[in-house]
Amino acid sequence: MPTILTQRLEVILMRKLTAGLFSSIDGVVEAPNEFQFDSFDDDLGQMLGEVMSNTSTVLLGRVSYTEWASYWPNANDGGFEHFINPVQKFVASRTLTEPLEWQNSTLIEGDLESFVGELKAGEGGDIAIMGSLSVTRQLIKAGLVDRMTLIVHPVFAGKGRHLFEPTDEPTCLTLIESVRTTKGNVVNTYAPRD
């Protein structure tokens, strides 16, 4: 039987699962490219660079995978493509089939939550959910997300999907960091409440 010290060490040594979403002031997180306008600044670029340097695995849902796989392999946007193309990617989908065409992409077989639990217990850097609202929502509700960052742009989107639906049960989080960037973005990082 594991001792309390062993259990604490296992938690410390586990890979962290992070989620990061761009949001408007009115809570829209879908298609941020349609509402970011000129609010993306060097401060955000630096923060996202730090996230990428700590991340060795990315989780994507079907919609994000399909959109990104059609764009990023041939993109020349100044940096993100150098991270997202070679990084290990796991895709949650009930409709896609192997082999996935985008390099280093593998379809998740079986239960998403069990797969992510095993992934977190393995070796490697942080695991990041990118885009993928349904995957983010499911893994937050399952208690598997260690850090969630909302990058709130100073803009009202007016329409689009929110992270949570009105029918969702309340989920309590703890704010662990809040940063304001030069263009007025507010970057809030949350952890699960103990």
CATH number of the domain to which 131 belongs:
3.40.430.10
pLDDT, position 56: 97
Residue 172 or residue 139, greater confidence: 139
Domain count, the chain: 1
* Position 9 in a domain: no
* Position 3 in a domain: no
Sheet holding 55-61, edge to edge: 105-107, 88-92, 55-61, 126-130, 17-23, 147-152, 186-192, 173-180
* Position 10 in a domain: no
Q: Tokens in use for 170?
A: 């309340």
* Position 77 in a domain: yes
- Give the pTM: 0.89
Mean pLDDT of 2-12: 47
* Position 171 in a domain: yes
* Position 42 in a domain: yes
- Measured between alpha carbons, how far is 152 from 32 in angstroms, rounded to an integer? 10
Instruction: Confirm if 183 and 55 have CB atoms less than 8 A apart.
Output: no
pLDDT in tens, 25-61: 999 999 998 999 899 899 999 999 999 999 999 999 9
Per-residue pLDDT at 157 exceeds 80: yes
Terminal-residue alpha carbon distance, the chain: 24
φ/ψ of residue 102, rounded to 5: -70, 130
- Measured between alpha carbons, how far is 150 from 176 in angstroms, rounded to an integer? 12
pLDDT, position 3: 54
* Position 8 in a domain: no
pLDDT band of 98, cuts 50, 70, 90: very high
- Residues spanned by the domain of 89: 16-192
* Position 122 in a domain: yes
Q: If you compute the radius of gyration of the chain from its CA atoms, what whole number of angstroms results?
A: 17
